[in-house]
């Protein structure tokens, strides 16, 4: 076999792998859609009769109910001293009221739990298909599968689902994330295959470095974990408003009650988001440092105020402010949550906005009709 014939065979093999990757990604989207409907069924058919924990803990009691409250009895020298039951209001460290966590999307119901298990099984299957799509994309070009925005998107969404499944495997109470996760993953993959798709191709010379594997992979992992934390923050804000309304004597709508009663308490959601963001923040710090080292190797300077570098640093500052505020007595709860959303907004702009709307050394081609050829981070 001649060298030219061998080259043609290799090119044909690479094209086949790229096509297989596309089929796997579309298949993953189809299964994610089924998982989405299964999560909807979990929320819809789960029992609504077992989700009144927050309401019962926070709804102000009437005078008649107060009279019926059990008394505390103390035996004293053959007699009985009856004391009034003290009213104790306990608040969590975040400033939210200490109320019990909800039973989850299934509402403690066997039928809802069955739909939830089906949804998780479908999510696992979709994750495996998407992972296969990312892997075959990498094999088709014989490099890391994140050399452009399309590849970054499919890898990012797959990593986000992987983080969710890992938390489930660790027995963490995060099944409530499933519906929100599959919704956003479908949106992300839809954007990838519709507007960001790029033909499988080799990298520009500046990206031929082992730092591509280190720097970009950590950026993808950080983004996936930041996303999980952001979902927790958004749900915390809704649950906190719901708890405050109940505590002030208000009556939320039936839809809000059905959904929000099943979620963990506001304090639990706030703690979850804080721990997730705090855990990944050192890795984001390493990501920026690794990028600077790579820039020194590729461009001869460690920092050149490129838009991607600037917004990566802005994101770092925003998350640093959130973590500091969250650990400071005067900036807990909702104020810190708004900072967390601002920080994630900076990350999103760094992810999409800088690549699409701002030109710099991290952009390697213009936006075409269906592709944006730029490095993810």
DSSP 197-266: -----PPPGGG-STHIIIIIHHHHHHHHHHHHHHHHHHHHHHHHHHHHHHHTT----HHHHHHHTTSPPH
| Residue 197, CA atoms < 13 Å, CB-side half-sphere | 14
Q: 25 with 133: CB under 8 angstroms?
A: yes
For residue range 229-279, what is the model confidence (pLDDT) as tens digits?
Answer: 999 999 999 999 999 888 888 887 877 788 888 999 999 999 999 999 999
Asked if residue 178 belongs to a domain, the reply is no
Provide the pLDDT for residue 19. 92
Count of domains observed in the chain: 1
Mean pLDDT of 17-38: 96
> In angstroms, rounded to a whole number, what is the distance separating the alpha carbons of residues 214 and 172?
28
Asked if residue 66 belongs to a domain, the reply is no
- Candidates 293, 302, 308; CA nearest to 351 is 308
Q: 174 with 227: CB under 8 angstroms?
A: no
Asked if residue 266 belongs to a domain, the reply is yes
Helices (H), 46-176: 53-58, 63-67, 110-141, 149-169
Lowest-confidence pick of 21-25, 170-174, 213-217, 328-332: 328-332
> In angstroms, rounded to a whole number, what is the distance separating the alpha carbons of residues 16 and 136?
9
Instruction: Say how many C-beta atoms besides its own lie within 10 A of residue 300's C-beta.
Output: 8
- Candidates 247, 227, 361; CA nearest to 304 is 361
Q: 99 with 54: CB under 8 angstroms?
A: yes
Mean pLDDT of 280-284: 96
Provide the pLDDT for residue 322. 93
Asked if residue 271 belongs to a domain, the reply is yes
Asked if residue 125 belongs to a domain, the reply is no
Asked if residue 258 belongs to a domain, the reply is yes
> In angstroms, rounded to a whole number, what is the distance separating the alpha carbons of residues 10 and 277?
44
Domain that holds residue 246: 52-60+71-101+203-374
> In angstroms, rounded to a whole number, what is the distance separating the alpha carbons of residues 225 and 159?
9
Provide the pLDDT for residue 92. 44
Q: 107 with 46: CB under 8 angstroms?
A: yes
Asked if residue 367 belongs to a domain, the reply is yes
Going from the C-alpha of 197 to that of each of 32, 147, 215, the distances in angstroms are: 19, 12, 22
| Residue 266, CA atoms < 13 Å, CB-side half-sphere | 25
Q: 283 with 221: CB under 8 angstroms?
A: yes
> In angstroms, rounded to a whole number, what is the distance separating the alpha carbons of residues 134 and 24?
9
For residue range 300-312, what is the model confidence (pLDDT) as tens digits?
Answer: 888 888 888 899 9
Task: Judge whether residue 366 has pLDDT over 50.
Answer: no
Q: Mapping DSSP to helix (H, G, I), strand (E, B) and coil, where does residue 176 land?
A: coil
For residue range 117-152, what is the model confidence (pLDDT) as tens digits?
Answer: 999 999 999 999 999 999 999 998 888 888 788 998
Q: 97 with 58: CB under 8 angstroms?
A: yes
Residue 278, burial from CB neighbour count under 10 angstroms (0-12, 13-18, 19+):
middle
Mean pLDDT of 106-111: 86
> In angstroms, rounded to a whole number, what is the distance separating the alpha carbons of residues 35 and 11?
36
Asked if residue 108 belongs to a domain, the reply is no
Q: 173 with 223: CB under 8 angstroms?
A: no
Task: Report which secondary-structure segment, H or E, holds 79.
Answer: strand 79-83
Provide the pLDDT for residue 202. 67
> In angstroms, rounded to a whole number, what is the distance separating the alpha carbons of residues 193 and 122?
21
């Amino acid at each position: 076999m001649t060298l030219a014939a061998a080259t043609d065979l290799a090119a044909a093999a690479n094209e086949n792998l790229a096509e297989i990757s596309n089929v796997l990604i579309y298949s993953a989207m189809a299964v994610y859609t089924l998982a989405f409907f299964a999560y909807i069924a979990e929320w819809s058919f789960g029992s609504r009769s077992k989700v009144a924990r927050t309401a019962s803990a926070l709804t102000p009691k009437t005078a008649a109910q107060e009279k019926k409250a059990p008394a505390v009895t103390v035996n004293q020298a053959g007699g009985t001293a009856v004391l009034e039951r003290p009213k104790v209001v306990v608040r969590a460290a975040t400033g939210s009221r200490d109320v019990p966590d909800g039973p989850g999307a299934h509402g403690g119901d066997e039928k809802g739990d069955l739909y939830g298990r089906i949804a998780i099984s479908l999510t696992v299957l979709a994750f495996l298909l998407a992972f296969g799509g990312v892997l075959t994309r990498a094999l088709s070009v014989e490099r890391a599968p994140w050399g452009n925005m399309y590849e970054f998107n499919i890898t990012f969404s797959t990593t986000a689902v992987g983080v969710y499944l890992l938390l489930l495997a660790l027995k963490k109470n995060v099944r409530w994330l499933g519906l929100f996760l599959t919704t956003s993953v479908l949106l992300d993959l839809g954007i990838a295959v519709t507007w960001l798709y790029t033909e499988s191709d080799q990298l520009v010379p500046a990206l031929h470095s082992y730092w591509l594997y280190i720097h970009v992979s950590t950026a993808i992992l950080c983004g996936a974990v930041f996303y999980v934390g952001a979902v927790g923050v958004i749900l915390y804000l809704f649950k906190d408003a719901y708890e405050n309304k109940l505590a002030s004597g208000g009556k939320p709508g039936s839809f809000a009650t059905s959904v929000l009663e099943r979620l963990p308490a506001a304090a639990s959601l706030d703690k979850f988001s804080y721990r997730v963001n705090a855990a990944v923040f050192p890795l984001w710090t390493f990501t920026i440092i690794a990028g600077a080292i790579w820039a020194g190797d590729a461009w001869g300077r460690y920092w050149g105020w490129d838009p991607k570098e600037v917004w990566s640093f802005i994101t770092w500052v925003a998350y640093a402010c959130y973590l500091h505020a969250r650990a400071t007595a005067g900036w807990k709860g909702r104020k810190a949550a708004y900072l967390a959303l601002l920080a994630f907004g900076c990350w999103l702009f760094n992810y999409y906005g800088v690549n699409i709307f701002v030109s710099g050394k991290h952009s390697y081609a213009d936006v075409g009709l269906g592709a944006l050829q730029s490095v993810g981070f």
